[in-house]
């Protein structure tokens, strides 16, 4: 099973940049999208139906904002929209597909870069998300939690850890949250399989950051420990350029 997670920073914009053609070549069984930035009636379904995908969308109430989706080759047994918490679900940040005892999630964690209020919201979300998936794991042991976490965990995950130490996405409290989340029984598959590899999944559009590879690794395929024996590979597709992010692949 091949799973890809990709923050497309606007799905319609990505389509205009050749995203469907790229997807035909990448050919995942499950595609987890974040930041679709569209409502269901704006979804360009024909591009993906032609490739054999069934789509499940969970959009934000606010138009042109946030939103997650799952595109699947095989229809799931069940799809769950949101976490049952309106304050977060109104922003379209969590969708889950169940295949027997295996569950695949597309999740989009908030960014705190716009100011103190959103940073506080982000920290509240992180606590609520951890409680939710820890409880979910009791009934869904084999969890795959793919998406944009908007956090670099360690110095190896960011191009300039010293100067970014006071920036949202690499704050001590965010990194501490991720350490605690992993200690709770979740595994960062890329780092688990490639302990010393320094690769990124996001680059600012400013300062020619991508060309200079001044990036951040903020997109993850996390799994519960029950999935670890099934891991085949986890890798980053840095040459996909439909967004300021690039995709990450998990093979199980």
pLDDT values of the chain reduced to their tens digit, one per residue, 252 residues: 999 999 999 999 999 999 999 999 999 999 999 999 999 999 999 999 999 999 999 999 999 999 999 999 999 999 999 999 999 999 999 999 999 999 999 999 999 999 999 999 999 999 999 999 999 999 999 999 999 999 999 999 999 999 999 999 999 999 999 999 999 999 999 999 999 999 999 999 999 999 999 999 999 999 999 999 999 999 999 999 999 999 999 999
Cβ proximity of 32 and 68 under 8 Å: yes
Could you tell me where the beta strands, DSSP code E, fall in 101-230?
102-108, 142-148, 186-188, 202-203, 215-216, 219-224
List of residues 6+ apart from 82 with CB closer than 8 A: 58, 88, 89, 92, 93, 94, 95
Question: Which token pair is 107?
Answer: 């999740």
Beta pairing partners, 251 = 2, 233
Quick one: pLDDT at residue 4? Answer: 99
Active site residues: 148
Task: From 235, 168, 173, 233, select the one nearest 199 (Cα to Cα).
Answer: 235
Burial of 26: CB neighbours in 10 Å, binned 0-12, 13-18, 19+: middle
- What pLDDT does residue 164 have? 97
Contact 167, 173 (CB under 8 A): no
The pLDDT assigned to 16 comes to: 98
Paired with 221 in beta bridges are 146
| 22: CB partners within 8 A, 6+ apart | 240, 242
Contact 198, 216 (CB under 8 A): no
- Comparing CA positions, the residue from 124, 130, 99, 103 lying closest to residue 223 is 103
Angle between helices 116-136 and 172-183 (to 10 degrees): 0
> pLDDT value at position 117?
97
The fourth-level CATH superfamily of domain 2-251 is Endonuclease/exonuclease/phosphatase (3.60.10.10)
């Amino acid at each position: 099973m091949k799973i890809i997670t990709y923050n497309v920073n606007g799905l319609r914009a990505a389509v205009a940049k050749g995203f469907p053609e790229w997807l035909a070549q990448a050919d995942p069984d499950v595609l987890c999208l974040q930041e679709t930035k569209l409502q269901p009636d704006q979804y360009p379904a024909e591009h993906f139906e032609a490739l054999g995908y069934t789509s499940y969308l969970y959009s934000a109430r606010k138009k042109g904002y946030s939103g997650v989706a799952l595109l699947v080759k095989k229809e799931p047994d069940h799809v769950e929209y949101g976490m049952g918490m309106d304050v977060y679900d109104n922003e379209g940040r969590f969708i889950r597909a169940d295949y027997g005892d295996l569950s695949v999630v597309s999740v989009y964690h908030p960014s705190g870069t716009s100011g103190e209020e959103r940073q506080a919201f982000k920290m509240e979300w992180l606590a609520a998300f951890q409680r939710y998936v820890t409880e979910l794991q009791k009934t869904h042991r084999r969890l795959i939690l793919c998406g944009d976490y908007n956090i670099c965990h360690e110095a190896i995950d960011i191009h300039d850890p010293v100067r970014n130490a006071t920036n949202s996405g690499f704050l001590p409290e965010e990194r501490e949250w991720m350490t605690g989340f992993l200690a709770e029984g979740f595994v960062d598959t890329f780092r688990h399989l490639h302990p010393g590899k320094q690769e990124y999944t996001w680059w600012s559009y400013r300062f020619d950051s991508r060309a200079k590879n001044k990036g951040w690794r903020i997109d993850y395929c996390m799994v519960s420990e029950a999935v670890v024996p099934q891991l085949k590979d986890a890798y980053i597709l840095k040459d996909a350029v439909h967004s300021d992010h690039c995709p990450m692949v998990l093979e199980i």
